[in-house]
A and B are shown apart, each in its own frame.
Chain A
């Protein structure tokens, strides 16, 4: 939507005016083709028109019917430092964003932890992945974290602080019985990520829309846990699959390492 303003706070206000405009009902207007004598500024509008974001408000379903409670939404923009770091947040939301993420974001209400979802900034970052900014996430019995960026694949959610996405990124880590799965957000300028396990195995993945996803065919040795009460068998059994430990690096398009080494698990 036009050239970026040089002052971030003004850019912030631009987004707010866009949202305010979206809340206004559009009036009916006969539309005509170009008239003679129309000033040049209309031509500028015609050029800009294809880049205009969809403006009607969006109310996605953010909880599973009969399971989760309602999830609040928030019209304010994502904090400016995160928008500065992530190009995917600076581009307007599209119809495709809404269509692709609608089935995924129903899980956001799970556990009643996420509040103030900034729906205008939800983005489809990959097939079956949605970026969902939220004003707060409950992290403990009496603690909440504000201004979070969450990733969901429709079955689980991982969140991290929007304020540090430019320096540390946001990472979602999980494991099956046979592989470790890494997905996450990285700032502009990161073209690929490389994950190296402690055994030296390496996987790389391309970054698109500030998002990456990679799978490593390795998991950590299973941790033994106490068997549940009433279990007939050994008192100690293997616990759930654990991601393999390793290091994640960010690479630019020339292959230089530009990102901080992620702490290994």
Chain B
């Protein structure tokens, strides 16, 4: 006798009912964005990474083998961490799947940035960066100062430093990673450095 098991997660259901993916997206979108913002200190970059994270989740949802909503969330965050890792390594924002699905990354309005800043508690994080970044190597310190503290755009950072945008992004990313390690060693009280 053939028995069919109904899908027991929204993500599994979205395999046959693609419209259900929007429910999955709405459940996790803010968490993913804030997670990525906390690690990049950059809401605009975080939104780009969030878009690619969900695009990859949408394209790969058939491969999800979990059976609970918690496992679906963990699966999604693994994709998000991988996006972060790829970005930190290359300094480039990958939008392959975003573009393949015909999506375009929206722009964060000033209101949006304010909301994300507040929800991700970026102000104390920026203060912590200011306190420790004198310890960074010169090239990284410069890049982090321009991007995180002075909040310049990446094209402007690159122009100021006389490097490509990819190099500017890589320096900021390595600088933040370096800061994270230093801050964990010294104080360990910042929640964002603890995964």
Binding site for B on A (CB under 8 A): 1-3, 5-10, 12-14, 16-24, 26-27, 29-30, 32, 34-35, 38-39, 41-42, 44-45, 48, 52-53, 55, 75-76, 80-81
Contacts and interface: CB of A to CB of B under 8 A. Distances in A.
B104 A48 contact: no
A9 B18 contact: no
Contact of A76 (B10, B51, B104, B111): B104
Interface of B: 4-6, 8-10, 13-23, 25-26, 29-30, 33, 47, 50-51, 54, 58, 68-69, 101-109, 111-112, 115-116, 119
Contacts of B30: 5-7, 10
Contact of A45 (B23, B68, B109): B23
Nearest to A25: B18
6 contacts: A1-B23, A7-B33, A13-B51, A17-B21, A18-B19, A48-B23
Contact of B17 (A7, A8, A17, A26): A26
Contact of B68 (A9, A29, A39, A44): A39
A13 B8 contact: no
B119 A6 contact: yes
B113 to A, nearest CB: 9
B21 A13 contact: no
A5 B116 contact: no
Contacts of A14: 22, 25-26, 29
B58 A29 contact: no
Nearest to A9: B106
A2 B47 CA distance: 21
The 8 closest A-B pairs by CB, nearest first: A21-B18, A12-B106, A9-B106, A29-B16, A24-B18, A2-B26, A55-B19, A10-B29
Contacts of A12: 106
A27 B16 contact: yes
Contacts of B103: 13, 16-17, 20
A21 B21 contact: yes
Given A14-B25, A17-B25, A20-B102, A7 B18 contact: no
B55 to A, nearest CB: 8
B112 A9 contact: yes
Contacts of B107: 9
A44 B18 CA distance: 16
B29 A45 contact: no
Contact of B22 (A21, A24, A80): A21
**Residue in B6, B8, B102, B119 whose Cβ sees the most chain A Cβ within 10 Å:** B6
B70 to A, nearest CB: 10
Contacts of A75: 102
